[in-house]
Structure 1
């Protein structure tokens, strides 16, 4: 049974027009990341418009650090969340005064010193040792560092694709150590605590479960603030809002989530707090696609394989998450050879790359209407954690092109 074809979005129509018009100077097969800047602007503006009062949105650069995308996003969000000093520098490259958050479980002395000199808005402190180091380094610079305490909560949390809290991980202070952190802060002349950082889950698809997590965060912060006499101006709830790769037509219900979050903040929040989101995947996944031309179609042991120009060294997300990444086949008429064109009709097909490993698979045994050598496989929602997490230099294959499309792109 072939899946029903969904109506094409304006973004996908633009990408298909580009593929139809693409012709490399040296006739090499197409392999590219396509980023639709018009779609990115539309989505980010919609996300920002739904935020309740008292909330801010920072972009988690780790999802995609393409310079063109950073400039587009930076014009609409409240700031940039970074996880290395290299990302801090890239954020400052967007504009000198853009607010920057700096987190991550392993910061060097040099990174902390440069971040303090660059006046990042908040350092997310991950341990008692790091808190002592921030005080020591800030004192040596004659500066005052603003920090949020990242806490790994105790107890059960909502299920999601990845869990950073509620279980043993390398992230944050164990909740039982907050009292010790408060004691250190009372003796710190060069550290100003502004609140807490709570990023516990990743790729949450259930808006109601995420709303319950927000309510849990609010209750916990109130408890800690009272118990340890800690000032709270910022509650960073992290990112964690996901993309439904299994069903792109059933996205996270952002509008409903924001509407209910606004009510929750009115009933149980604190007007002195700023609630900060730091989303990455949710902001950029939908604006990008990975386009890879089919080099070969063959049958092996009863299964059909389509070999594409590219693979997991360009787009590691499907292998990393062990899922079939959603794709469409873009048919192409060109056929430069004097012999017949190989393909498969109404078969389940495995899309594999060029690497010398059976793990180089982007989607396994997915039914397709037709696929032929020379067609292009367009992997949808590939704008986040694609190129950024891939092993680019393995086997020294060429890199894909990075192509940004505008609304009137041809």
Structure 2
């Protein structure tokens, strides 16, 4: 734990309320994102997928560094525009309403990712009524096969994109309808891929597929959006996606795209922001039930739902707190495997299972790493009406 975070924790220990906060290191964030963006070859652009974390302070730190924001709702678009009226924005999502499409066009999004033939008609109707031309990418649910990843977005039945066998109808519709300009394709097929070589192979598979479509449909693809899908290894923090390897191999793949493909977009979220965030909670109690040692904390999955959503044991460290003001005996475990649970009235409120600890006591603080993405954003904040955690941003970039 760095010194600034340590001070944040120590300043709150022994306060009126147990420690419970999200802490975001904006210097760590901007250094990482600068490195990623600087390593991209010409024609490649990195958009930030706001669904990972749409906190205003993070967005303002990211805005000067990335090519723009990827949004998946009218609400996210409003947050993006609150940060900057001229920031490039691309709009995805599988079920856009006509009102969201109108909002997108009125607020000058760069392009929309169309997910069905009906959605193409909706975009056309709104664009024609407003006297606009909507630049569109067709999101295609490819048949695959794809590398192994935590989530499959294509290659299997999902709600995302246009089935590959229906692409001829979609291309014809996009060309025929007024108010639409077909610029290319969106091929986000998986999520949380941890293999850099596999991700290079995936991008080359996209290249070959798009070239085949160009021949089949007699078109020139100007923009390919390769999605995000670059992951974070929560099980082994020392074995992460090798971005340096990916960046070294990327120019060869990109150079094989035809010159008329002017733009190859990535829209990463988790990979950009996960490591800048920490979820910090105080241990309220320790108990043993049916042979399992439980550590109960202020907070839980109503703040940080990622572990239960992805069914993993989230990594944490124990910060010892020596002060124990109570006259009650202080529960303690040594050299134990503990299950960390929150304050909700459900056995599913679990942050970590069978996690080894050398020592943990009531009153100590647990710091969950890599909590900057898909934590607060996907959580059921008001279940049981517990207090919300504090959100703290620190670093020179703050």
TM-score range, shorter chain: over 0.9
Which residue does 2:169 correspond to in 1? Answer: 180
Tell me the distance in 1 between the aligned counterparts of 2:290 and 2:346. Answer: 17
Which residue does 1:68 correspond to in 2? Answer: 57
- Structure 2 unaligned regions, length at least 5: none
Choose from 2, 9, 14 the match for 1:19.
9
SS at match of 2:343: coil
Tell me the distance in 1 between the aligned counterparts of 2:367 and 2:346. Answer: 22
Q: Are positions 1:287 and 2:292 aligned together? A: no
Query: Displacement of 1:24 after TM fit?
Result: 6.9
SS at match of 2:173: helix
Tell me the distance in 2 between the aligned counterparts of 1:339 and 1:408. Answer: 43
TM alignment of 1:104-253, pairs within 5 A = 104-253=93-242
Query: Displacement of 1:185 after TM fit?
Result: 2.5
Tell me the distance in 2 between the aligned counterparts of 1:375 and 1:280. Answer: 32
Which residue does 1:335 correspond to in 2? Answer: 324
User: Does the 8 Å CA contact 2:150/2:191 hold for their aligned counterparts?
Assistant: yes
How many equivalent pairs are there? 397
Query: Displacement of 1:367 after TM fit?
Result: 1.0
Tell me the distance in 2 between the aligned counterparts of 1:13 and 1:257. Answer: 32
Tell me the distance in 2 between the aligned counterparts of 1:348 and 1:23. Answer: 25
Tell me the distance in 2 between the aligned counterparts of 1:188 and 1:24. Answer: 64
TM alignment of 1:380-395, pairs within 5 A = 380-395=369-384
SS at match of 2:93: coil
Choose from 37, 47, 50 the match for 2:36.
47
Shift in CA distance, 338/153, structure 1 to aligned 2, threshold 3 Å: same
Tell me the distance in 2 between the aligned counterparts of 1:59 and 1:164. Answer: 18
Which residue does 2:353 correspond to in 1? Answer: 364
User: Does the 8 Å CA contact 1:54/1:271 hold for their aligned counterparts?
Assistant: no
SS at match of 1:328: strand
- Structure 1 unaligned regions, length at least 5: 1-7
Query: Displacement of 1:92 after TM fit?
Result: 1.1
Tell me the distance in 1 between the aligned counterparts of 2:264 and 2:323. Answer: 53
Q: Deviations over 1:198-229 (max 9, x none)?
A: 00000000111111100000011111122112
Which residue does 2:46 correspond to in 1? Answer: 57
Tell me the distance in 2 between the aligned counterparts of 1:186 and 1:77. Answer: 31
User: Does the 8 Å CA contact 2:175/2:181 hold for their aligned counterparts?
Assistant: no
Q: Deviations over 1:235-269 (max 9, x none)?
A: 00000000000111111011110110111222x21
- Aligned CA-pair RMSD: 1.4
Query: Displacement of 1:41 after TM fit?
Result: 1.0
Shift in CA distance, 24/133, structure 1 to aligned 2, threshold 3 Å: farther
Q: Deviations over 1:344-384 (max 9, x none)?
A: 01111110100111111100111101000111110000000
Which residue does 1:277 correspond to in 2? Answer: 266
SS at match of 2:94: coil
Query: Displacement of 1:408 after TM fit?
Result: 10
Which residue does 2:393 correspond to in 1? Answer: 404
Tell me the distance in 2 between the aligned counterparts of 1:202 and 1:406. Answer: 30
SS at match of 2:177: coil
Tell me the distance in 1 between the aligned counterparts of 2:70 and 2:276. Answer: 19
Pick which of 139-148 and 282-291 moved more. Answer: 139-148
Query: Displacement of 1:407 after TM fit?
Result: 4.8
Query: Displacement of 1:302 after TM fit?
Result: 2.3
Which residue does 2:309 correspond to in 1? Answer: 320
User: Does the 8 Å CA contact 2:61/2:397 hold for their aligned counterparts?
Assistant: no
Query: Displacement of 1:189 after TM fit?
Result: 2.6
Q: Deviations over 1:322-343 (max 9, x none)?
A: 1000000011122111233211
Which residue does 1:296 correspond to in 2? Answer: 285
